[in-house]
Amino acid sequence: MINLRSSSEEKDPSDRLLACIPSGKRVLNLRKNETIFSQGDPADAVFYIHQGQVKLVVVSCGGKEATLSVLGPGDFFGVCCLGDQSERSNTASTLESSVLTRIDKELMLRSLREQPELFDTFLAYLLKRTLNLQKDLCTQILDPSEKRLARVLLRLTELTEEQHEECVRMPKISHDTLATMVGTTRSRVTYFMNKFKNEGFIDYDKDIMVRPAQLSVMLQEDF
């Protein structure tokens, strides 16, 4: 889950560079819980998030669902279409009202060839994304579910404008979704969330409030 997010003083470089792409892109204003594309659809465009959050989900042949990531402003998704992928390997949907740019595959490829600055920015994004995916894989293999949940909560705080505050309000995500991100059951997620609340790492009623500093210290401890 990578974020090339702009501050209030400086426009995100990707946002600025995408404005230079000629006709062939389209701005989408989507409501909460709208499907952007479904697993198996033609892979014919790249998407960029200006506002809101997008969830990527994959479903196995047996019907088992896993949430791959939750993305926010500054993120690209659907980028595998730039290779030889002809069909979507996951489903993308909005978690809240969102503003996206849809860029046709051929237009994105041509723009990357013709705009070196856009190419460099996009390449840096992909490298960071690959590094984070490697970290996520190590976490999934090596860490117990309690630590995996803590890392997911910390990642989700990065999607908010409050990410540097002492207490950060997380995006509205259900325990069911958290369970599919962590790779455990909903009951285990609820148990650990209550434990984190009792230990002062988080607080929640309607919204989940995370204290990143305390949660990070917990991750350093041996279980």
Residue 124 inside a domain? The answer is yes
Q: What pTM value is reported for the model?
A: 0.82
Would you state the structure tokens that stand for residue 162, as one six-digit string? Answer: 């409050």
Looking at 139, 163, 186, which one is the last position of a domain? Answer: 139
Last residue of a domain, one of 98, 117, 139: 139
- Into how many domains does the chain fold? 2
Burial per residue of 153-177, b for 16 or more beta-carbon CB atoms within 10 angstroms, e otherwise: bbbbbebbeeeeeeebebbebeeeb
- Which residues form the domain of 47? 13-139
Residues 30 and 68 in one domain: yes
At 24-76, the pLDDT tens digits run: 789 999 999 999 999 999 999 999 999 999 999 999 888 888 888 899 998 99
Same domain (yes/no): 33, 115: yes
Instruction: Give the tens place of pLDDT for each residue, 95-144.
Output: 999 999 999 999 999 999 999 999 999 999 999 889 988 888 888 888 89
Same domain, 25 and 116: yes
Q: What are phi and psi of 163, to 5 degrees?
A: -60, -25
